């Protein structure tokens, strides 16, 4: 069952652009790079994929290309969230139709629904589209936090198979785990190992766009309860991971990918490139990891 397969390291993929256009060939290259480095799953068109700047057809095209290129070698969890239930349903249905294994559905943003509104939003999607859902709790982006009690209610639905927990609070993850058996995946790279130490199953990672094998190695060790060796990797990668978010995401990771020989082109407005201090910090961290233009 897919629920059991969603563990370890999954990559929150960037969307590559060239002169304002989706770079489809580069996207396929990224996917092959990820799979050849042993990643456990691909998550296109989430926050890291600049989903708010993609129109509907572009959004669908990224999902379609990812599914086509992955060819079943790893699970594809397509970003399909929306702040209108009707729009989210269109994207959910499209992801199902093109063969995605599951979808990542973020809390509806900007309009700040109540807990009951959140519950009925996700229940409507789970009832009407037969595609497994990974809930996505990220109040820093959406302006609303889904409570552990609401998560536990939703976890009773067979189509709700996991949650990407990005509140930055281990207490939140602990309370979810105390209320239900829903697998919890970290949505914060820096908290991956701490979260796994209390029962988390892995991470949907930004950093793995550059270092998929290292993130995979750390999560594999943690899943084997080898936290001694996993913590060595955690400490080694921590400065680099923190540097990626100094000017926001995916600003940092796109610059890091360029330095590492994995250039994905420009950002889309209103996102803008990192400032000079952040660029210097990212470059220093990459040099310490021996990752400048290695690919």
Catalytic residue among 7, 94, 119, 164: 164
Burial class (CB in 10 A: 0-12, 13-18, 19+), 174: middle
Q: 268: part of which helix (H) or strand (E)? A: none
Q: Is the C-alpha dihedral spanning 52, 57, 63, 66 positive or negative?
A: negative
Burial class (CB in 10 A: 0-12, 13-18, 19+), 116: exposed
Cα gap 31→20, rounded to integer Å: 20
Active site residue 136: yes
Q: Where are the beta strands (DSSP E) in the chain?
A: 8-12, 17-18, 21-22, 41-43, 77-79, 102-106, 133-137, 160-165, 184-186, 202-205
Catalytic residue among 7, 94, 119, 136: 136
> What is the tally of helices (H) and strands (E) in the chain?
13, 10
Cα gap 2→102, rounded to integer Å: 8
Catalytic residues, which ones?
Answer: 136, 164
């Amino acid at each position: 069952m897919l629920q059991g397969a969603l563990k370890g390291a999954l990559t929150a993929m960037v969307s590559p652009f060239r002169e304002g256009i989706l770079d489809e060939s580069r996207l396929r290259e990224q996917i092959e790079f990820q799979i050849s480095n042993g990643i456990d799953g691909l998550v296109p068109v989430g926050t890291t994929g600049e989903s708010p700047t993609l129109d509907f057809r572009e959004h669908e095209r990224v999902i379609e290309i990812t599914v086509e290129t992955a060819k079943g070698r790893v699970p594809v969890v397509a970003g399909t969230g929306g702040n209108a239930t009707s729009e989210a349903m269109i994207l959910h249905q499209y992801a199902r139709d093109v063969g995605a294994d599951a979808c990542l559905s973020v809390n509806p943003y900007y309009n700040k629904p109540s807990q009951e509104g959140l519950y009925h939003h996700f229940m409507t999607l789970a009832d009407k589209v037969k595609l497994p859902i990974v809930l996505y709790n990220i109040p820093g982006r959406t302006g609303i936090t889904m409570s552990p009690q609401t998560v536990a209610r939703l976890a009773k639905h067979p189509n709700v198979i996991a949650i990407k927990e990005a509140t930055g609070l281990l207490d939140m993850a602990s309370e979810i785990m105390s209320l239900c058996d829903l697998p919890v995946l970290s949505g914060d790279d820096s908290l991956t190992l701490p979260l796994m130490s209390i029962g988390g199953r892995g991470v949907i990672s930004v950093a793995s766009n550059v270092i998929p094998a290292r993130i995979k190695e750390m999560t594999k060790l943690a899943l084997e309860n080898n936290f001694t060796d996993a913590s060595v990797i955690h400490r080694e990668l921590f400065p680099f991971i923190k540097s990626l978010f100094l000017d926001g995401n995916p600003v940092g990771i796109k610059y890091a990918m360029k330095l590492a020989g994995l250039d994905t082109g420009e950002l889309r407005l209103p996102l803008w490139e990192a400032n000079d201090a952040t660029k210097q910090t990212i470059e220093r961290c990459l040099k310490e990891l021996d990752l400048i233009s290695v690919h």
